[in-house]
């Protein structure tokens, strides 16, 4: 038996990782500072919507701290105790942040429902002005994070916090206008319920994605059957079985497979070719191939037993 590998095992985040950490750091400073402002104005104005948005931003601050720590941890190289390195740290950070989002949404919804029957007096001007400022802050944070979110689940989790905040600020602006224009104080708890709903939607999407990674599911942009066909089309491969496609983190997909060698072919060369073909066709550089010699007298079947 012999283990063959493709051309690479993935590389640390490098400059992209450093840029992501800088973006997280700037966003942390923005949201943390503005959360304090929202708490103060929310308490003075009596606005639950503003306090709900502030609570979400406080949660964001903790989430961003966690994301920043996990980003630094995930960039550490492999060692004797973590031979794959620490890339899964970004997934664990995203999972924790998703759970925090659900807790925040539940607390906001609980308080909002209580206020629907007896809405308190709300200072609309303070609510409106602060909500507009929050929208600007979240817009800047969104621009800082959106590039890294496409490849990093940890940053994507932080971005969902920011998006939830931005939408919450929009809801708070609508509530502020309603209070100032029509003295409609019910707009404040209604806006809070909208904020809670938006937070839940983002949290569920995030948790579903992180759990899929932790369960070692097939990445959404990869087709197992297509990978199998690529392997079977390699010269010297008679059949393939025990094919697994999963990812260590969203930007680190991996493949492992057992291939039965056609007569007259060498395992090392076939393994190398399989790895090269998978990398060329599917962009996966971490490929582990276990070549096997067919037992004499057995018919080779070109399918993957399930």
Could you report the average pLDDT of every consecutive run of 10 residues in the chain (306 residues)? 40 53 77 77 70 68 74 78 82 82 82 74 69 82 73 70 75 78 77 81 84 88 92 93 89 91 90 94 92 64 47
Distance CA 224, CA 14 (A): 29
| Contact call for residues 218 and 224 (beta carbons, < 8 A) | yes
Q: What residues form DSSP beta bridges with 237?
A: 261
288/231 Cα distance (integer angstroms): 12
For 36-80, write each residue's pLDDT tens digit: 777 777 777 776 666 766 666 676 777 777 777 777 777 788 888
d(CA 169, CA 109): 16
Per residue in 149-168, pLDDT tens?
Answer: 666 666 777 777 777 777 77
Given a contact cutoff of 8 angstroms between Cβ atoms, the answer to whether 62 and 87 are in contact is no
The full set of domains in the chain, from first to last, is 14-214 (1.20.1510.10), 218-293 (3.30.70.1350)
DSSP annotation of 298 reads: P
């Amino acid at each position: 038996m012999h283990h063959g590998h493709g051309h690479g095992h993935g590389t640390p985040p490098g400059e992209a990782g450093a840029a992501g950490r800088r973006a997280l750091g700037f966003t942390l400073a923005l949201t943390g500072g503005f959360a304090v402002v929202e708490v103060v104005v929310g308490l003075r104005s009596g606005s639950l919507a503003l306090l709900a948005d502030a609570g979400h931003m406080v949660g964001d601050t903790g989430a961003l701290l966690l994301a920043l720590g996990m980003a630094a941890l995930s960039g550490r190289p492999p060692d004797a105790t973590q031979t794959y390195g620490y890339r899964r740290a970004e997934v664990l950070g995203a999972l924790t942040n998703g759970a925090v989002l659900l807790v925040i949404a539940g607390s906001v919804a609980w308080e909002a429902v209580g206020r629907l029957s007896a809405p308190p007096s709300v200072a609309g001007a303070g609510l409106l002005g602060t909500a507009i400022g929050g929208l600007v802050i979240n817009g800047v944070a969104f621009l800082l994070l959106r590039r890294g979110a496409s490849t990093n689940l940890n940053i994507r989790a932080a971005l969902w916090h920011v998006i939830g905040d931005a939408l919450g600020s929009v809801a708070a602006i609508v509530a502020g206008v309603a209070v100032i224009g029509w003295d409609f104080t019910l707009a404040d708890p209604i806006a809070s319920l909208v904020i809670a709903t938006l937070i839940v939607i983002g949290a569920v999407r995030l948790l579903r994605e992180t759990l899929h990674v932790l369960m070692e599911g097939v990445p959404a942009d990869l087709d197992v059957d297509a990978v199998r066909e690529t392997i079977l089309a390699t010269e010297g491969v008679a059949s393939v079985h025990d094919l697994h496609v999963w990812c260590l983190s969203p930007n680190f997909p991996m493949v492992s497979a057992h291939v039965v060698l056609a007569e007259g072919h060498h395992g090392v060369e076939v393994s190398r070719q399989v790895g090269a073909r998978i990398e060329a066709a599917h962009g996966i550089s971490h490929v582990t191939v276990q070549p096997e010699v067919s037992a004499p007298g057995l018919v080779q079947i070109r399918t993957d037993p399930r």
